Amino acid sequence: MTDEALLELKQLTVRFDDRPVVDHVDLRVRRGDIITIIGPNGAGKTTLIKAVLGLQPISEGSLTMTPGLTIGYVPQHLTLESTLPISVKRFMLLSGRPQQACRDALAKTGVEHLFNASVHHLSGGEKQRLLLARALARRPDLLVLDEPAQGVDINGQAALYDLIRGLRDELNCGVIMISHDLHLVMAATDRVICLNQHICCSGYPADISHDPAFIETFGQPVAESLAVYHHHHNHSHDLHGDVVSGEDGVHRECSHAHH
């Protein structure tokens, strides 16, 4: 059932004071999909996610979910009252799931060893993994993540995206996330949606980095630096950057600039 649509948005529009902040968005999320929403500040990304979570009323269009769909939500940050002592164990049990399910989820995100630690003492990356574990404890059909790698260093970010991909494979869930880490998105995401109120362009990273709408939104230098990620060469280069014959002995010219 890999093509089962978990969620479908049709012409979904959210207006604030008659201003469309999310403008006629169509989106279909199936099991196994990883869809990343990118876009400049104020583009409507969080508003769209809130609509999916049922936290934001829709002005127009429709949002259909498969009946009984369980959503696991990972917010940008863990916000807790700093004076309230709380352990990882207690935080996880607040999800209402049994202890073993909580432990299993923590093991999946690699932080089970912190079960008795204070949440306040966790590093930024560990907190994100804890939030992810809390979402997983619900055994979600759909994971929704709002900038999951915020405050995590670059190696930690790559590891977190790898983890999300691995969890998608294991749970066969759909994933929809917002990200500002364009380089990681382009290297790791299956499908990208570039939102600027409406969907400017969408598709696979290799394709959208060449899309004029993408270049207009993020600028030529960003588009060029991202295009390298999924750039498949049919030939090799020597140390000077000159093209040498391919494996089949055929020499082909590059159709792009090298950096």
Ligand X SMILES: Nc1ncnc2c1ncn2[C@@H]1O[C@H](COP(=O)(O)OP(=O)(O)OP(=O)(O)O)[C@@H](O)[C@H]1O
Cα dihedral 249, 255, 257, 259 in deg (nearest 10): -40
The pair of three-digit structure tokens given for residue 17, joined into one six-digit string: 């004071």
The pair of three-digit structure tokens given for residue 61, joined into one six-digit string: 């269009």
Using the minimum distance from each CB to ligand X, give the nearer residue, 43 or 226: 43
Rounded Cα gap, residues 168 and 32, in angstroms: 6
Per-residue DSSP letters for 71-139? EEEE-SS----TTS--BHHHHHHTTT--HHHHHHHHHHTT-GGGTTSBGGG--HHHHHHHHHHHHHTT-
Question: From the CB of 95, what's the least distance to ligand X, in Å?
Answer: 25
Contact stretch for ligand X (CB under 6 A) within 1-9, 43-51, 64-72, 100-108: 43-51
Using the minimum distance from each CB to ligand X, give the nearer residue, 41 or 100: 41
Question: From the CB of 201, what's the least distance to ligand X, in Å?
Answer: 16
Where in 65-94 is the site for ligand X (CB under 6 A)? Answer: none
Looking at 13, 36, 46, 209, which residue binds ligand X (CB under 6 A)?
Answer: 46
The pair of three-digit structure tokens given for residue 229, joined into one six-digit string: 């990620």
Looking at 9, 12, 29, 45, which residue binds ligand X (CB under 6 A)?
Answer: 45
Question: From the CB of 217, what's the least distance to ligand X, in Å?
Answer: 12
Counting contacts by CB under 6 A, is residue 15 touching ligand X?
no
The number of residues that bind ligand X (CB under 6 A) is 10
Looking at 25, 27, 34, 43, which residue binds ligand X (CB under 6 A)?
Answer: 43
Question: From the CB of 124, what's the least distance to ligand X, in Å?
Answer: 18
Rounded Cα gap, residues 206 and 192, in angstroms: 10
Using the minimum distance from each CB to ligand X, give the nearer residue, 45 or 129: 45
The pair of three-digit structure tokens given for residue 258, joined into one six-digit string: 């090298």
> Please, which residues bridge with residue 38 across strands?
194
Judged by the rule CB under 6 A, the positions of this chain that interact with ligand X are: 16, 21, 39, 41-47
